[in-house]
């Protein structure tokens, strides 16, 4: 089912939106400051092309670091990069996903595609610090982090 959904999604607009992500990645890759954005945009282009069976998780969910640990993608640099993205390509992608989501939800068959569009719309503003992984890996990472947090809370 995921394969069929991905093929339909790709042919009916996923490829176009993925290209917008890639254009943003290329433009921001020109500057050194934009490199974190380029990495994030390429990750999101993959998700935009083939969204079914994939999920987006924060880098902290995949790392074995403490939640308070700050990296380049989660600290000030990541915040600034996300603001730059939101003010440029983020708004374009958000509107594109929103329109696609509304149009898809007009039909019963299109509702799963509309849900994917709305999920991607939320991510389009703040992509730095996110990674595209399988749904199963995302679930496992979130469960492991929840277990770690529970263990820490029980110690205090």
Residue 129: is its pLDDT beyond 90?
Answer: no
Q: Which of 47-56, 65-74, 75-84, 125-134 has the highest mean pLDDT?
A: 47-56
> What number of helices (H) and strands (E) belong to the chain?
8, 2
pLDDT digits (tens, 9 = 90+) for 102-124: 998 998 988 999 998 998 898 88
Tell me what pLDDT residue 66 has. Answer: 55
Q: How confident is the model at residue 22 (pLDDT cuts 50, 70, 90)?
A: very high
In DSSP terms, which residues pair with 131 in a beta bridge? 57
Secondary structure class of 11 (helix, strand, coil) = helix
Calpha distance 138→134 (Å, rounded) = 6
Q: Are 86 and 126 in contact (CB under 8 A)?
A: yes
């Amino acid at each position: 089912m995921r394969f069929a959904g991905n093929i339909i999604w790709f042919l009916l607009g996923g490829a176009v939106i993925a290209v917008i992500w890639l254009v943003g990645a290329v433009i921001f890759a020109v500057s050194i400051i934009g490199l974190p954005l380029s990495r994030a945009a390429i990750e999101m282009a993959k998700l935009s092309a083939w969204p079914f069976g994939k999920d987006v998780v924060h880098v902290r969910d995949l790392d074995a670091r403490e939640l308070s640990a700050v990296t380049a993608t989660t600290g000030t640099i990541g915040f600034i990069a996300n603001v730059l993205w939101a003010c440029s390509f983020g708004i374009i992608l958000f509107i594109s996903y929103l329109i696609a989501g509304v149009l898809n939800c007009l039909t019963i068959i299109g509702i799963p595609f509309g849900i994917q569009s709305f999920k991607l719309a939320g991510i389009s503003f703040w992509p730095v610090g996110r990674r595209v992984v399988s749904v199963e890996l995302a679930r496992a990472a979130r469960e492991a982090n929840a277990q770690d947090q529970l263990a820490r809370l029980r110690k205090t």
